[in-house]
């Protein structure tokens, strides 16, 4: 029987668009100063971990976060485009309020978490996103049985991982946080994911804004 794989899943550090509430999707937005600090803090928190490999979305906000972890742990870093955020098509770059104003019917389907809804312009449905993430995680984790890997990705990806691990449907209201640079722990077996720990942010506490920006 294949051995289980331990997974540390990390959402990228903060970006200016996170602060502004803008939809990023596949747009390649970099970390802001707080996000860079968060990446360094996360790296320090994981420095003593035994990590076989780090896999990261190739978008720079995730990649920069993963690079910090790679430097601190010495683990090999590999780009995995399958860990990208959900594509939001023509709505990328807008705020949800703007979407409500421009396309109220789309906003309603979005708010109700219609699993089949895919925004125009190459957007991805929740069903497609969940299928993609389940396939990618299974493929990556199956190659590291008995070991531990790090996945660095995005808020939508973290949400899917939590739902897969807790067997919650795509339309279930979200009651769990998706904090930037939080450390989330899961266990993968051929039977699927299990939740070990979620949203550990202790490494991001106890510092002033001035220290974060120094």
Binding site for substrate: what residues are annotated?
11-18, 61
196: part of which helix (H) or strand (E)?
strand 192-200
Which of 134, 138, 135, 130 is CA-nearest to residue 190?
138
Which of 3, 26, 49, 85 does the annotation list as catalytic?
A: 85
Q: Where are any strands of DSSP class E within 154-207? A: 183-189, 192-200
Active site residue 85: yes
* 3-class SS shares of the chain: helix, strand, coil, % to 5: 45, 20, 40
Does residue 12 have an active-site annotation? yes
| Cβ atoms 12, 181 nearer than 8 A | yes
**Would you please indicate which residues are annotated as catalytic (active-site) residues?**
12, 85
């Amino acid at each position: 029987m294949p051995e289980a794989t331990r997974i540390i899943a990390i959402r990228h550090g903060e970006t200016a668009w996170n602060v502004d509430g803008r939809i990023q999707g596949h747009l390649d937005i970099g970390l802001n100063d707080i996000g860079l600090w968060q990446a360094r803090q996360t790296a320090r928190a994981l420095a003593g971990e035994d990590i076989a490999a780090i896999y990261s979305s190739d978008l720079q906000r995730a990649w920069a976060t993963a690079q910090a972890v790679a430097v601190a742990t010495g683990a090999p870093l590999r780009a995995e485009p399958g860990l990208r955020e959900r594509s939001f098509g023509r709505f990328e770059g807008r705020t949800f309020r703007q979407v409500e104003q421009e396309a109220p019917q789309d906003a309603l389907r979005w708010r109700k978490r219609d699993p089949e809804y895919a925004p125009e312009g190459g957007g991805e449905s929740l069903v497609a996103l969940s299928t993609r993430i389940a396939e990618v995680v299974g493929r990556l984790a199956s190659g590291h049985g008995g070991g531990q890997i790090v996945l660095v990705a995005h808020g939508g990806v973290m949400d899917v991982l939590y739902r897969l691990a807790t067997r919650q449907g795509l339309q279930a209201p979200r009651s769990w946080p998706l904090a930037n640079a939080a450390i989330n722990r899961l266990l993968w077996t051929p039977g699927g994911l299990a939740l070990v720990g979620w949203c550990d942010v202790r490494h991001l506490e106890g510092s002033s804004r001035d220290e974060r920006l120094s």
